[in-house]
Amino acid sequence: MPETGYLAVFLIGLLGGTHCVGMCGGIVSALTVQMPGEKRREWPMHLAYNLGRISSYTLAGAAMGAIGTVGMLFNDILPIQMGLYVAANLMLVALGLYLTGFTRALSGVERLGHRLWSRIQPLTKRFLPARTVAQAFPLGMLWGFLPCGLVYSVLATALVTGAAERGAALMLAFGLGTLPNLMLAGMLLKRLRDVVRNRAIRMGSGLIVLAFGVFGLATAPSLGSKLWSGVVCHF
């Protein structure tokens, strides 16, 4: 895969699963409780929910990429792209520390999203209880706006893509990275929670995400060099 940046973001989504399971696992597992008792129906429901959630991430990524495009128009006047790039990697550093448990700094970022979420949450009642795929998908789209420091950290990177399509692709890659953990969370919630609460696993995942952010800052003059190939727009 020549666009190594998308692979990096996929891995961040995968490694951030320790946060996803803790924050969204209960929501996903609730789908199982609300649907009829046929086990064979669980996977389609959880898949629809997660595809809806990933669709929201993708749309948000496109919006952030489009906003980044506007910023790039002034890049010859002000070093906007460099500033956005550094800010995005500082968010990854904060995310890594957040996942390891060293700091709760991203909790403040999550609180900023609660105002939007307070307006969106009432809409979820239209699709509850979710008993069909047609209900699970839009419910997933709405829950995709749940305030989440992990999502916000990657959205900050989408700003640096400088194009709506690259921002969308970035968040799609990230969303697919979160998919395995949240699919399993719906089916094996208690067992999976026991695993992700293991300090060694959380620490390892956080340190790897932290390394992505530190490397990004260290290579800021080249905008991440080859690591963010295909993602960061180099002018």
User: Over the stretch 181-206, which tens digit does the pLDDT of each residue have?
Assistant: 777 766 555 555 555 556 677 788 78
Q: Would 233 be classed as within a structural domain?
A: no
Write out the two tokens for 5. 């940046």
| Mean pLDDT of the chain, nearest integer | 78
Contact 157, 88 (CB under 8 A): yes
Q: State the DSSP code for 197.
A: T
Whether the CB-CB separation of 14 and 181 falls below 8 Å is answered with yes
Residue 51 has pLDDT above 80, yes or no: yes
Ranges 67-76, 92-101, 161-170: which has the least confidence = 67-76
Helix (H) or strand (E) segment spanning residue 187? helix 164-187
Q: Output the pLDDT for position 170.
A: 93
Residues 75/81, Cβ–Cβ less than 8 Å: yes
What pLDDT was estimated at residue 1? 36
For residue 80, what pLDDT is reported? 72
The number of distinct structural domains making up the chain is 1
The structure tokens listed for 39 are 């086990």
Question: Domain for residue 235, yes or no?
Answer: no
**Burial state string for 206-234 with b = 16 or more CB within 10 A and e = fewer than 16:** bebbbebbebbbebeeebbeebbbbbbbe
Q: What is the pTM of this model?
A: 0.82
Which amino acid is it at 138?
P
Instruction: Evaluate whether residue 160 is within a structural domain.
Output: yes
CA distance 172 to 164: 12
Q: Is residue 123 part of a domain?
A: yes
**Comparison of pLDDT for 108 and 137, the residue scoring more:** 137
The answer to the question of residue 227 being in a domain is no
**Which residue type is seen at 235?**
F
81 inside domain: yes
The number of residues making up the chain comes to 235
Domain that residue 104 falls in: 4-222
The amino acid occupying position 52 is G
Give the number of other CB atoms < 10 A from CB of residue 33.
7
Would residue 88 count as lying in a domain? yes
Would residue 105 count as lying in a domain?
yes
